[in-house]
Structure formats: structure tokens, C-alpha cells
Structure 1
Amino acid sequence: MAAVADTPESTPALDHTAGAAEVVREVFDQLPVMVVAWEGPDHVAVAANEAYRRYVGRPGFIGSPWSEVMPEIRGQQFFEILDAVYTTGRTQVGSEWRFQIRRDDTDRLHEIFVDFTVSPRFGPDGEVVGSTCFVTDVTDRVHERHEAALRTAHVQERYEAVHDVVVELQRALLSMALPVMPTAHVAARYLVAAEDQAAGGDWFDALVLDNGHLALVVGDVVGHGVAASAAMGQLRAVLEELLRTETELKTVLERLDAYASHSPSMRAATVAVLVLDPETGQAVYARCGHPAPLVVSEDGSVRHLDAASGGPLGTGAPHQLAHATIAPGELVLMYSDGLVERAGHSLDEGVADLARVAADAMTNSSMPLGASAVVADRVAEMTMELMTRGGHEDDVTVLAVQRLAEPVPGLDLRLTATRDSLHQVNAAFGTWLASFGASPADRFALELSVTEAVTNVIEHAYPAGRPGPLTVTGAVLPAGGVSVRVVDEGRWRSPDPASTTGGRGLLLMTQVVDEAEVIHPPQSAGSAEGSRGTTVVLRHHAHRQAVMASGRGLIDDELDDDRPIADFDVVGHEDDDGPVVSFRGTVDLDTAERARASLLGASRGGVRSLTVDLTEVTQLASAGVRSLFEVREQLAANRKELVLVAEPGSAAAVVLELVSLPYQHPVPTRPTPA
């Protein structure tokens, strides 16, 4: 957003009329650009052309204050724009601002992106009497650019690896993995400095300590570029080690201060540290030249943790500690000063704006359409977006932590071990992981492992035609991470060492989660191991994912269209090298036979070489792997070849590498010449 000075003298006085009133009105009403005008400090609507009236879809708003006409945009920073134009006489310009508005008499919200220019209107005495706004809807343009970016994401990643080394360095130095805890939700966002997209010295951390307390850190090293990033990385590493080894926060700060004093690049860095006991809500914190954290209550009230003020690191300034109590449901918001620094505004004004935005996000009263149900995510996202949409010169860091009123509920499924139960487990387990925001990588690992454990029960625990009990339980651990137990009451069958196509489920589990353990209850004398049931225990240090951005105009992936994705689909075609079969979705126990049949059909029973495209496979379980091995063996017997295609790093590629099945990378599609 930009501001431009305007005065009534900036345009020479005209010595002729604008035209007949009816003609001027007709021209104004037929302008293709949307125009609306307001008057007075309450921004009463006094004029709007047809394009704008049709766009807004609200009859009879002329003569009404704009806060009554469009109350839903309160908290979306537009009324602040109107106030600024009216009080300063300076034009304000916005590009691709996201709004959520109503266009009819219902409460349904529509998400739009607009470019706008709000200019002052002056009276005969030269005083500002109102404002005029020119609006262009750019929603389609923004969505088209976002879809194009998704289609070329892998190309962009390669470009950034070469041309954006500093940003990649920043990503490597920061901890993008946030802890998963039963009593707190943690969210973080980092926005790189706008100028030259140069990384700087901001950092954040959220650490689960040995005593179960949660250490929260936001810091800022002076400067930008590689030197600032390197200094930040050193300070962050030292502070993490001190927090993990020292029991007193005062000692941590003293030692960190001494370390920073020995390096000019670290001297004058600022940091805020807060250590929270999520069980009791007791917190101890300190600020070394850093902005005060905010505490936002569920009703939107805000207080500042502004005690314990001290000077920056390495300057010899004393450091103080203070204590606070974080009530159940309350949220702590920590941030760097880049979030509240804006040209023409004081830091106090920026902090006051931040408090309003955070309160609206906490109560979900601003832009609720598509907003995250996880409060910490919503507050981090909305404060970052709304506070920086007018531009930012410095790095911006936001760390939000909500102490939960109720712990994350555990998972408890008690089913009968049939093929249908696999779908029930996968659906319920995925919903449970999503409820506390497990990262995509952790969801992949845990969902694949649970699929393997449940598949093993369905296939091997009970006699054919006599399925028995299946229990799946899950819990978020106080020290961070997830524990899952898959229990049956059948008989354990060890994998056949002679099998070339089976027995890979346990291998996959042990490779993708931190711990996978098979436990058998105590056996009676003379009975075989596992004759009284089996328990598979999975433990994994699951994390939530922080968000890092290096540009404007970003749309969250959650705003993509809602087209349903099939659980499994098969598409076949012929190319110059022979038949190609493409799988889409989940290849597991329930779909593996269909996958195998489609491959054998396309290869005419194994007499034609075959290419299998796995680039759109979201999960490749051991049952699917077994089908691939079986088809490969059948083709090899006829001296034919099975070629697998997968995107490096994808769900399918990870599994193929674990089971030593070679695959090729997809060939990039070349654009058609214009």
C-alpha cells in the first residue's frame, strides 16, 4: 500500500463547467471502473456508480455510514484506510487485498481480492470533506496466478535453490517444526524482508523441555543478509542449548548475554523468552530490548506482558524476570518489531493495531470464511496478513501459543477386523491427526504405519471368515509427539522369509516412524508366541509446521477448490513406448487387487512392457507394493519390463526407495509453442 499527498491546489482550476448534470451523472454511472464516494468522519456514502452498486449488491445504502452498510469488513483494515485518508488528506493505494464481504441479504461471505485507490475530496475551503474510492476486482487474476504457481511449484523450487540462496539459508537456520502437545497449540509464521527479498536476523523457537514446560522465543539480530542470518543461527543454537541444560531462566539470559557481547554481529540483538507450564498456566518471561508479548483471552480482551523489561543482548544492560498466569483458552502472541513498524505511525500505534487485529482473529469476527479452526493458526495467519498488507521493510515473525481449555482428546476405535474397518480407521485417524495440526510429513508416516498395522490384523490375525476385535488408540504425549497402539486378539504369524512379495509392512513401519514395537501378552506354558493377541506400538515425534513466505499475494493451499479426490482411480493410455497406467489416490489393501488387475490387463497378462505412473498416488501401502512386485515378476518371466514413475520426495517415491523398487522421474511437460 502506498500513500500520496493530495491538495486542492494540485489540479488547476477549470474555467468551464463539467457538463450538464444529467450527462455527467450518466457518464459517471456508466464508468466500467467501480467508484464510490463517502463524506464526513463516519464515511457516509454519498455516491456510487452502477458498476459498484451491482458489485456490492446492497440497495439503498446512499446516506448511510459505511460501517453500517458493510459491517463485516470491520477488522479487515479498510475502515482504518478511510480514517487515514480523511485525517491526513493523503491518497492510499492497495494491491490485491483480500476481503470477505456479503453480496446479498444472507450471512454468506464471499472472498474477493481487489486493487483500490482511496483519494481525499476537498471542500471549497480546502479542508477534507470525504473520500472517493476506485475499485478493481482482481480475484480471478490472483487465483489464476496461484494455480499457475502450483503447477510450476517444482520448477520454482529449483529456481529458488539457485537464485534465492539467502532465503534457503534462513529456512535451514530456523526451526520450522513446532511441537505437538496435548495441552497447547503452537503456530508460527515468518515473512522475509520485502527489500530485495533478503533474509535477516529474526528467529523463533518453541521447545518442549525435559520437565514438560514449553519454552517460547522470538529474537531479532540487527541487519539483513547472510551475516545477520549467520549471527541469528549462532544465537538460536546457543539459546536452545542453554534452555535445555539450565534450570533457571535468569542464568540462561546471563550466559546468552555474555556470549553475544563477544561478537559485534550479535551485539544489540533483542529477544523475548517465555517459559510456560501448560498444565498450570504459570509462566516466567523476560524481554531483552524486545516488544512485549500479548495475551489474548477467548472474549477478545488483550493484555501486555510488559514487565521484565531489559536492554538488548551484549550491551551490559541488566535483565529482569517477571511472572504471569496464562488461563485456559488464553493465547500468547510473540512477534518481532517488523510486524508493528509502519511509515508514518508510531510503535505504540502499531501495537494498538496489532491488539485489535489479534482480538478479532481470536474471536473469529474478522474474515471468518475459510479461517482455521485451530485458534493459534488463525491468529498467526490473520495478524501476519492484516498487519503487513500495507507493506513491510523488515523481517516479520509471529509466534502464537494457545493454552488449551481441554487437552487434545485421544483416539479410541473398537471395530471388527474386516476390510471395511480399514476405511473407518483411516478416516478417523486422519481426522484425529488433523485436529492438532500434524505436519504433512508426519501424517504420511503415521497414516502409512497405521494402515500397515491394521492390514496385518485383517489379513493374518484371525481365521478366514471369522474376523475378530480390532482396537486402535492414539494419544498426544505430554513431552511432545504421538503414541498409537493397534491391538488384536488373534494369533501372530511371523513373516515368511522365503516370500519375495510379502512381509514388508513391518519394514515400512520401522523406516517411517521413530519407533515401531511388536508386543505379545504373556503366554501360557507351551503356547506359541502371539497366540493371545498382538499389540503394535508406534511412537513418533510429530510436529506442526511453521509457515515461511518470501513474497506477497500468497493464498493458503486451504483455499483451493473443493473438488473431491477419489480414494482410488486408474487411467490407461498408449504412448510410443507402449501401455501406460496411471494410479491416483490410495493404493492399499482394499485397492491393491484392482491395481494389480489393471496392470495385468494393460500388459496382456505380462507379455507387454508396462509403465506405471505413480505421481498422483497419495499413499502406497505394502499391499500395493506386493502387487507391483508380483506384476514385475510376471513381466520378467516373459523378458518384459515394468517401469515405475514417481515424483522425488512424494509419498510413493519414499516407499519405493524403502523397498528398493527403482523408479524414474516424470518427464517435464514442454509448453506448446505459441
Structure 2
Amino acid sequence: MAWPGRSGRIGVGKNLWGGFQPRSGGAGSVAGADPRWSSGDSGELLDAFEQFPGFVWVFEGPELRVAAANPEVRAAVGNRRDLIGTPFKQAVPELVGQHIFELLDQALLGTRTRGYEQRILTDRHGDGRLEETFYTFDIAPWRSPDESVRGVIVQAVDATEVVVARRAAESAATTSEQRYRHVAGLILELQRSLLPATLPVLPRVQVAAHYLVADSDLVAGGDWFDVVTLPNDRIALAVGDVVGHGAAAAAAMGQLRAVALQALRSGGSLSHVLAALDDFAGHTMATRAATTCIAVLDPVAGTLEVASHAHPPPLLIDTAGVATWVPVVPTGPLGTRSDPAAVHTTTLRAGDVVLLYTDGLIERPHHSLDDGARALAAAAAAARHDTLHENTTVPDRLPDRICTLVTERLTLADGGYRDDITLLAAHLLPEPVPPLRLTLPAEPTALRTLRWQTNDWLAAIDASAHEASDLIHALGEAAGNAIEHARSPEAPATFSVDATLDEQGVVHLCCADRGRWRMPLPDSGGRGRGLAMIRGLVDQLDVVRTDAGTNLHMRRRLGKPTVVTGAATSPTVTRRHAPMAEEMSTRVVDTPHGRTLEVHGPMDMVTTGRLHAEILQANRGGGLPLTLDLTAVSHLSSAGVRLLHGLAGDLEDLRVAVAPGAPAEAVLILTGLKELITRPDAPN
């Protein structure tokens, strides 16, 4: 919570407590204090509170007014004036969008939340720059003697040093592959091999992608994404979700991605691409009922074409941090004989960010999809609008920053996430990075200037450190040859360097001189190996010799690594009342209108196999209409959707009962199962 800071005490006095005053008892005593466990002396207790070795907040009432804050936490927020008695949202407004206020509101409803090493950004010095600290915290309801919730108590420990030390140790590991295998195992390895390892680095658009594998191997495997460069300087952004889990779902995901990639590269329209995917998906059960959203961005014209098969719409974040949804109308899931997907075109402005994602990011048990969408919009807007201190470990690139903070903050809620999560971000740059053009003297001292300026340019286009190292080395070899051979009687000895990044994500380097190269002689001490070295550092090298001089043309395709990780450590959430059902149970009820199968708990990739068998058992003999009562289902995942699509084709009188406004209703409507919906206790 805004607990970032180090120790620091301000004056100790009873006015610290604001409205938190003893309500009864003798002078110097605390009302209700048990003499076996407390001295009852309010002065002594206040002094102990002031010396508490950690961060403690106490909030009172529905407005969460600050009732108490010990010196550690007061210093953490910069010893702000008028802190006591002020609603917390006004006292520390920079926490909007960081999912802290939401957890406090849950505590007011009786929910206790524990968080582990959560990143919090606050304006510690009042200069508008947000600094980061990592906290392990406990947010609990503050209860009155009659058990009503009076407010919220928060206790936290600064875990920043532990996080920094652990990350340093991870960076020192021999290879990232070993770390990845340790975290996620073979399923993650298969997924990673089928997903794009890198995304294109482009002059007008920056892209980033985060893929979080579900916290169990049994439910991992179905999400996919891609960024594809197209003719006429356009790019395609695609996300999708395949029903299923484990290796089978990963393989199906890889097939759909390959079909989409081939269709996009063939030059067909967006409608043609989705028609090809729809046709392919209908031929196998593994790909049927998958969802997808594909957008084609023209960065020069600023247009975005979007179409969806049963997939949530993209989110736009403008330069002011305002979030809006692309008003695309989805058709049914792939392979289910739905209508062709309608293409919606919208106009982007320079600086806009487009977010595509899978439903795992917005689906939460006991929350509607609208709630999840609002949480996504708030988190993305806050991540876009934050002004960060230079010492934070949040990525500098805007798309990476949004992907990092949004996935961190949204997976904090409700005990983590049960499904895979994909978030793809594209930032339309205000201006493309201009080419680099240099003319340098053909002297060895020019190489230093060449490296500096080339390194700055490569950083501006967002080349990775490894790519920059290779390209600077290759260009240095070319320049060295030019310096050695660029003698010309007609003009001073110089050489020129041109560097451009094209719309396909390829860097073009040209090093030109006005001299004629001498062929290496036998036993010349290794001369002539420079070209071989350059060829090993770039994708293609062309040497053009003319009467005017020698030109070396080098090309290298750049790639931004995607972030594919195993399940992150998430806070645990306990509920005082009505705990979430983690085990599925069913009950068959015969009614005058037919037979009803009541389903309780999660309807996800782990439980659908058993549920399918129980549905067939309940329908044995036929003759009676069957209703699936999903009013008590805590989580309806894409696996459940696939099961319902299959049952809809096999059972003539199937109905699905859901409560109005429940999360299951929105899922059924989104995935093309609206015709099955009935209300509980309604006659068939």
C-alpha cells in the first residue's frame, strides 16, 4: 500500500489517532482491553504503536479515513500533511489503478487478503515521480465488539531487498532456459516452442507480449498470439484461445497459429484470414470452439481494422490515459458454423496504445466479465499515466511497462489466476525513428564516434543489447576495411554509414568508401577474415565494388523477446463468509418439467471430464428434457464452453439455467450459447 519508504519518525502524540479515540473506560485506559493481555494504558499502547517495527495503517469507516499510521508508514508516503482523518484515496491518490483500493474495499466487506512481494509505486518526494517498493502485506477487516466491520487494518513488511537479491541471483544463472524449465516444466517448454520467440522491432510501432501459464499443468496450454508484418507497411496483431489443456491444447494452439500466419502472409484481407481459420477449426475437435481476435494496424494512415470470433474486444489507451473499447461485434466461436466475422475500422492517434488479450485476464470467480473489463481498463490507464522514478525496475518501453504492471496487478486479485493469460500491446509512436547518416574521416579515431552514434541509434529503435553488440561489431569491421582502403586521389579520404530500420523490422546498414580494396595475399596475417566475421553477425551481406568505390550492404532482422512465464506467486485470499467452492459437486433433481442437474463449484478444464460423464448419466434413457443449473458455478471456463457446445449438438432438449447478470450468463452470450439460456425454475 503506499508503504514504500524507509524508517523515519515524526513527532509522537495522541493527535496521531485522529478519530480513533477510546470510547469508554477510566482515564488512560483503552475500552474493552483485556487486563490479561494488555496494561490498558492508552499512552503505553500508543508508544508501542509508534515503535512498531513495520508498516501499519488503520482506516475507519466506508470512506477509509486514515485513523492511524505509525512513523514507518508516515515516512513511506513522504510525511504528508493532514494525513490523519483524510480518506485514503485522497491522501495517496497515485494508488489508483494499482488494485490497492479494491483490496481495501473487499476488506470492508469482510475479506482478508495477504500479498507476497507486491510492487507498489508511490510519489514519495511529492515531485510526481513514482518510486517502487515491494511489500509482503496483510489486509484485514477491523471489527467492532459486535463483529460489524468498523474499518480496515493493514500491516506490511518491506521486501524490496529480498526481491532485488533474488532477481540478481536469477540474472546470474547460467541460462534463462534452465530458470524457465525449473519454473514451468515441459508444458511451458512446448508452449514456448509453439509461440513466437520474438516480436518484430518496427520504426513506427512498438509491441510487447506477456504470456502467463496457468498455475497448474492440467489447465495450461490454450492461448496463442502473434505479430505479423504485412505488405504496405501494415502489421497484424492476433490473440486466440484454444479449448483444452496440457500438450494437446498446446499442439492445437500451434496449428491455429500456423494457419493464421500463413493466411496473413498470403496477403488476403482480414475477412479472408478469419474465414480460413474458421474453416480449419471446424475439421478437428481440438480446435473447434476456439476464440480469436485479429487487428490489422496501418501506422501511416492510423487505421485499425478489428474482427472477432467470440473474443473480447481490444482496449485503446490514449496519451491522456483514457481507456476506450473498440466497438467490434464478435461472431460465434471458430468452427461452429457461425456467421462471418464483421470487420470494424477505427482511427488511432499518435501515441495510442492498443491492447489485445485473452479472457483469462478478465475472468475471475464470482465476478462478472464487466467487472474484469473495468479492472483491466483502470490498471492499463494507471500504468500508462504513471510517472516513474528512474530507479524502478519497471520497463522503460511503454508497451512493456503496461504488460508488466497490468498482469502483476490483475493477477493479484482473488488468489491468482486459473487460466492462461495473454496480453499483447502495440504503441503507435508519435514519430518514426529517423535513419542514421554519417560521413567520417577514414581514420581509426573515427571508429569511436561511429560506435557511439550507432549505439545511440540502435537504442532509439529498441534493438536488444545482443543485437546492438552484433551490429556494432559488424559495422566496425566494415568501417575498418573502409579506413584501410578508402584512399582516393580526387577527394579527402572519408567513408559514409547509412542505417535504416524498414517496416518489416529489418535493419539495413551500408558502409561505403571511395577506394578499391586490395585482395588478401597468402600468409598475410589473417587479412580478409573481416567479411567472414560480418557474415556471421548479420543475416545477409552484399559487397558491391564499382569504379567509384566499395559498398557493404548488411541486413539483420531484429526481434523483441516475448515474456513467457510460469505461474507467479500470488497472494492468498480468505473469506469469512461463503468461501469459494474449489471442488465440483452435482445433484440430480427431478421436476414436473424434466430433470435438472445442479452443478456447484468450478466448471473448468480440470472438472469437465467428470461433469460430462455425470451429464450423460443424468440423461440416460432420454425422454426427459435436461436442464443444467449453473447458478452455483463459481467459474465457467473455455473448457466448459466447449463441453456445452458439444452437448448442444448431441442432446435435443438441453437447457442451461443461469442467474441474470451472473458471470456464467455473460460467458454463454459471448461464446454463442445464448439460445440455451433459461432461468432457474422456468418451465422448458
TM bracket (short chain): 0.7 to 0.9
Q: Distance in 2 between matches of 1:125 and 1:487?
A: 84
Deviation at 1:512, TM superposition (A): 2.4
367 and 359 in structure 1: CA distance in 2 versus 1, 3 angstrom threshold: farther
Q: Distance in 2 between matches of 1:231 and 1:396?
A: 17
Is 1:542 matched up with 2:553? no
Over the matched positions of the two proteins, sequence identity in percent amounts to: 38
Which stretch has the larger CA shift, 392-401 or 106-115?
A: 106-115
Counterpart contact for 1:514–1:540, Cα < 8 Å = yes
Counterpart contact for 1:72–1:366, Cα < 8 Å = no
40 and 214 in structure 1: CA distance in 2 versus 1, 3 angstrom threshold: same
Is 1:358 matched up with 2:380? yes
Deviation at 1:307, TM superposition (A): 1.9
SS in 2 for 1:426: helix
**Count of residues paired in the alignment:** 532
Q: Distance in 2 between matches of 1:480 and 1:32?
A: 53
Q: Distance in 1 between matches of 2:568 and 2:487?
A: 56
Deviations 1:529-581 (A, max 9, x none): xxx33221112222222222224369xxxxxxxxxxxxxxxxxxxxxxxxxxx
Deviation at 1:500, TM superposition (A): 4.5
AA matched with 1:387: L
Partner of residue 231 from structure 2, selected from 210, 226, 235: 210
Name the residue aligned to 2:132. Answer: 111
Name the residue aligned to 1:325. Answer: 347
AA matched with 1:239: A
172 and 467 in structure 1: CA distance in 2 versus 1, 3 angstrom threshold: farther
Deviations 1:307-340 (A, max 9, x none): 2311111111213222222223222110011111
Partner of residue 468 from structure 1, selected from 490, 493, 510: 493
Is 1:400 matched up with 2:425? yes
SS in 2 for 1:520: strand
Q: Distance in 1 between matches of 2:425 and 2:126?
A: 35
Counterpart contact for 1:100–1:367, Cα < 8 Å = no
Partner of residue 115 from structure 2, selected from 65, 71, 94: 94
197 and 73 in structure 1: CA distance in 2 versus 1, 3 angstrom threshold: farther
Partner of residue 435 from structure 1, selected from 445, 449, 460: 460
Name the residue aligned to 1:516. Answer: 541
Partner of residue 496 from structure 1, selected from 521, 526, 542: 521
Q: Distance in 1 between matches of 2:186 and 2:130?
A: 40
181 and 27 in structure 1: CA distance in 2 versus 1, 3 angstrom threshold: closer
Q: Which segments of 5 or more consecutive residues in structure 2 lack a partner in the other structure?
A: 2-31, 571-684
Counterpart contact for 1:342–1:350, Cα < 8 Å = yes
Is 1:374 matched up with 2:390? no
Counterpart contact for 2:173–2:179, Cα < 8 Å = no
SS in 1 for 2:243: strand
Alignment of 1:516-665 (within 5 A): 516-521=541-546, 523=547, 532-552=548-568
Q: Distance in 2 between matches of 1:46 and 1:196?
A: 45
Is 1:416 matched up with 2:441? yes
Name the residue aligned to 1:122. Answer: 143
Deviations 1:83-128 (A, max 9, x none): 2222x22112111001223444555643211101111113455432
Deviation at 1:175, TM superposition (A): 0.8
Q: Distance in 2 between matches of 1:381 and 1:15?
A: 47
Is 1:85 matched up with 2:107? yes
248 and 111 in structure 1: CA distance in 2 versus 1, 3 angstrom threshold: closer
Name the residue aligned to 1:482. Answer: 507
Deviation at 1:159, TM superposition (A): 7.9
Deviation at 1:158, TM superposition (A): 7.5
TM-score with structure 1 setting the length: 0.73
AA matched with 1:335: Y
Name the residue aligned to 1:65. Answer: 87
Q: Distance in 1 between matches of 2:379 and 2:72?
A: 31
Alignment of 1:294-309 (within 5 A): 294-309=315-330
Which stretch has the larger CA shift, 113-122 or 49-58?
A: 49-58
SS in 2 for 1:292: coil
Q: Distance in 1 between matches of 2:277 and 2:380?
A: 31
Deviation at 1:163, TM superposition (A): 7.6
Alignment of 1:147-186 (within 5 A): 147-154=168-175, 157=178, 160=181, 164-186=185-207
Name the residue aligned to 2:600. Answer: none
Name the residue aligned to 1:654. Answer: none
AA matched with 1:129: R
100 and 197 in structure 1: CA distance in 2 versus 1, 3 angstrom threshold: farther
Deviation at 1:293, TM superposition (A): 0.5
Q: Distance in 1 between matches of 2:537 and 2:253?
A: 32
Deviation at 1:404, TM superposition (A): 2.3
Deviations 1:181-217 (A, max 9, x none): 2222221111111224964111111111234321110
Deviation at 1:234, TM superposition (A): 0.6
180 and 168 in structure 1: CA distance in 2 versus 1, 3 angstrom threshold: same
Partner of residue 339 from structure 1, selected from 353, 358, 361: 361
379 and 422 in structure 1: CA distance in 2 versus 1, 3 angstrom threshold: same
Name the residue aligned to 2:266. Answer: 245
AA matched with 1:359: A
TM-score with structure 2 setting the length: 0.72
Is 1:383 matched up with 2:406? yes
Partner of residue 190 from structure 1, selected from 203, 206, 211: 211
Q: Which segments of 5 or more consecutive residues in structure 1 lack a partner in the other structure?
A: 2-12, 524-531, 555-674
Counterpart contact for 2:218–2:246, Cα < 8 Å = no
Q: Distance in 1 between matches of 2:509 and 2:167?
A: 37
Name the residue aligned to 2:63. Answer: 42
Counterpart contact for 1:85–1:91, Cα < 8 Å = yes
Which structure would you say has the larger RCO, counting Cα contacts within 8 Å and 6 or more residues apart? 2
AA matched with 1:140: E
SS in 2 for 1:178: strand
SS in 1 for 2:304: strand
Q: Distance in 1 between matches of 2:569 and 2:456?
A: 30
Deviation at 1:225, TM superposition (A): 0.9
AA matched with 2:426: V
Counterpart contact for 1:161–1:168, Cα < 8 Å = no
Counterpart contact for 1:186–1:399, Cα < 8 Å = yes
Q: Distance in 1 between matches of 2:44 and 2:446?
A: 72
Is 1:348 matched up with 2:370? yes
Measured on the aligned residues, the alpha-carbon RMSD in Å equals 2.8
Name the residue aligned to 1:656. Answer: none
SS in 2 for 1:309: coil
Deviations 1:434-489 (A, max 9, x none): 2222244433432221121112223343499x983232221111233111111223
Deviation at 1:174, TM superposition (A): 0.3
40 and 495 in structure 1: CA distance in 2 versus 1, 3 angstrom threshold: farther
Name the residue aligned to 1:453. Answer: 478
SS in 2 for 1:317: coil
407 and 108 in structure 1: CA distance in 2 versus 1, 3 angstrom threshold: closer
Q: Distance in 2 between matches of 1:497 and 1:157?
A: 45
Q: Distance in 2 between matches of 1:30 and 1:484?
A: 63
Q: Distance in 2 between matches of 1:253 and 1:105?
A: 50
Partner of residue 25 from structure 1, selected from 26, 30, 46: 46
Q: Distance in 2 between matches of 1:51 and 1:282?
A: 50
Q: Distance in 2 between matches of 1:59 and 1:248?
A: 57
Counterpart contact for 2:183–2:566, Cα < 8 Å = no
329 and 105 in structure 1: CA distance in 2 versus 1, 3 angstrom threshold: closer
Counterpart contact for 2:97–2:380, Cα < 8 Å = no
Q: Distance in 1 between matches of 2:276 and 2:487?
A: 60
Name the residue aligned to 2:531. Answer: 506
